[in-house]
Amino acid sequence: MGEGSDIISHAGAASTMKGVVLVGGVGTRLRPLTYVMPKCMLPVGAKPLLERTITWLKEYGIEEVVLCVAYLKNRIKEYFGDGDQLGVKISYAETDMPMGTGGQLKSAQELLGDQSFVTMNGDILTSLNLGKMIELHRRRKGIGTLALKKFEIKVPYGKISLGGRDRIMRFDEKPTLSFNANAGVYVLSPRIFEYIPAGRPVSLETETFPTALDRGEQLNAYYQDAYWADVGNLVDYEKADKEILTKYFAKTEARI
């Protein structure tokens, strides 16, 4: 998942940070594969997705990783153990049921101390330069920095723009809409926990971040034209599995 020389120049950027990977979800969109295996354990290019994620974090100097687990958590714990085989220290924040992205993160609060930390969803692949993202967060401060990606949607219908008295002013046939999307990688201040209530499922995306903004908190954006894939459904999973060994990661895999 790395970027060659950029990894070396930025490896120290996160040396005091911990990483948190949210891997407690059921993976409904990946059934039937996830009936017997958590989605983060599905093989991508012959390695479990989560192993690739942990290796990517380690490349940027993050050697303490907290895994927020729930669904089929023993499969994850049995495979990774304490992280020694990957050269990292792994701790587990456990819940008995999936608690949403915010609820799962809340379960790790006592393991993270009073320093900023990296958090990411457990169902993505990316070549994002995490070192540069961390540096930006440290410069701009704020309660968090969110990685963004450009996303485009082809509208299957003509778009009609109206003026006064329902007069048609413009007609665009099947336009493409482009916008900034949440890439699921964050650098967060521990103050974020003030916006995550305990004891119930919470969504970072629909509750925590909007509430923090409403209360005047500063959230920063980090954008980079990097590889990014959501492995949350069967079509995207199969696509990423092929890509990992070809166009985007052929050079990385050749060195292993």
Of all residues in the chain, the percent with pLDDT exceeding 70 is: 90
Mean pLDDT over 101-113 rounds to 96
Under 8 Å between Cβ of 66 and 92: yes
Query: 111: part of which helix (H) or strand (E)?
Result: none
Q: Is the pLDDT of residue 27 over 60?
A: yes
181/31: higher pLDDT: 181
Query: Among 66, 112, 111, which residue's Cα sits nearest to residue 91?
Result: 66
Q: Is the pLDDT of residue 146 over 50?
A: yes
Task: Look at residue 62 in the predicted model and tell me its pLDDT.
Answer: 95
Banded model confidence at residue 247, pLDDT cuts 50, 70, 90: low
Banded model confidence at residue 108, pLDDT cuts 50, 70, 90: very high
Task: Look at residue 215 in the predicted model and tell me its pLDDT.
Answer: 96
Task: Look at residue 249 in the predicted model and tell me its pLDDT.
Answer: 52
Q: Is the pLDDT of residue 21 over 80?
A: yes
In angstroms, the Cα distances linking 63 to 2, 13, 18 are 16, 12, 7
Rg of the chain over all Cα atoms, to the nearest angstrom: 19
**Per-residue pLDDT reduced to its tens digit, 53-63:** 999 999 999 99
Cis peptide before 190 (omega within 30 of 0): no
Task: Look at residue 32 in the predicted model and tell me its pLDDT.
Answer: 82
Task: Look at residue 250 in the predicted model and tell me its pLDDT.
Answer: 54
Tell me the whole-structure pTM to 2 decimals.
0.85
89 is a catalytic site residue: no
Q: Is the pLDDT of residue 64 over 90?
A: yes
How many beta carbons lie within 10 A of that of residue 39, not counting itself? 25
Beta bridge partners of 124: 230
Banded model confidence at residue 5, pLDDT cuts 50, 70, 90: very low
Q: Where are the beta strands (DSSP E) in the chain?
A: 19-23, 43-44, 47-48, 64-69, 89-94, 117-121, 124-126, 144-154, 159-162, 168-172, 176-188, 219-223, 228-230
Q: CB under 8 Å to 244, separation ≥6 — which residues? A: 44, 45, 52, 125, 253
Under 8 Å between Cβ of 151 and 179: yes
Task: Look at residue 165 in the predicted model and tell me its pLDDT.
Answer: 85
Banded model confidence at residue 71, pLDDT cuts 50, 70, 90: very high
**Average pLDDT of the chain?**
87
- The tokens 């017997």 sit on which residue? 36
Banded model confidence at residue 246, pLDDT cuts 50, 70, 90: confident
Q: Is the pLDDT of residue 152 over 90?
A: no
In angstroms, the Cα distances linking 174 to 22, 159, 163, 181 are 37, 7, 20, 21
Query: Among 139, 120, 69, which residue's Cα sits nearest to residue 97?
Result: 69
Q: CB under 8 Å to 131, separation ≥6 — which residues? A: 6, 7, 9, 10, 11, 12, 13, 14, 60, 61
Domains belonging to the chain, first-starting first, are 5-148+182-254 (3.90.550.10)
Structure tokens at 159: 């778009």
**Per-residue pLDDT reduced to its tens digit, 164-187:** 888 898 988 888 888 899 999 999
User: 241: left (phi > 0), else alpha (psi -120 to 50), else beta?
Assistant: alpha
Q: Within 13 Å of residue 75, how many CA atoms lie on the same side as its CB? A: 17
Of 47, 150, 159, 174, the catalytic one is 174
Least confident of 29-38, 118-127, 219-228: 29-38
